[in-house]
Amino acid sequence: MSYAFPPEIAEPVRRRVTSGQFPSEDDVLRAALHALDERDEELVAIQEGLADLDAGRVSDLKDVDARLRAKYANGTMR
């Protein structure tokens, strides 16, 4: 499908298709939307982490280290 992109978007899309990086404009858009979805998920995770920090739901690094060492005591994690 062909899209009427503004010039500042059309050129990078065209470059990616003509370079062979993507087979079509649809694939460029699909990858761009996927990247935006991943970014949105990361922002939500950051916001949740900040909320946990503000609420005091944190663990001391020594405690986390001790739990991980106990969990992976078989020697695969050093």
Q: What is the pLDDT of residues 38-78, one digit of tens each?
A: 999 999 999 999 999 999 999 999 999 999 999 998 666 55
What integer is the mean pLDDT of 17-33?
97
Gyration radius of the chain over CA positions: 22
The domain total for the chain is 1
Rounded (5°) CA angle 20-31-13: 50
**Domain assignment present for 12:** yes
C-alpha torsion 2→6→12→16, nearest 10: 0
**Domain assignment present for 76:** no
Q: Which amino acid is at 2?
A: S
Q: Is the sign of the CA dihedral 7, 8, 11, 17 positive or negative? A: negative
Quote the domain boundaries for residue 18.
Answer: 7-71
**Domain assignment present for 28:** yes
**Domain assignment present for 2:** no
**Domain assignment present for 15:** yes
**Domain assignment present for 18:** yes
Q: What are phi and psi of 76, to 5 degrees?
A: -80, -20
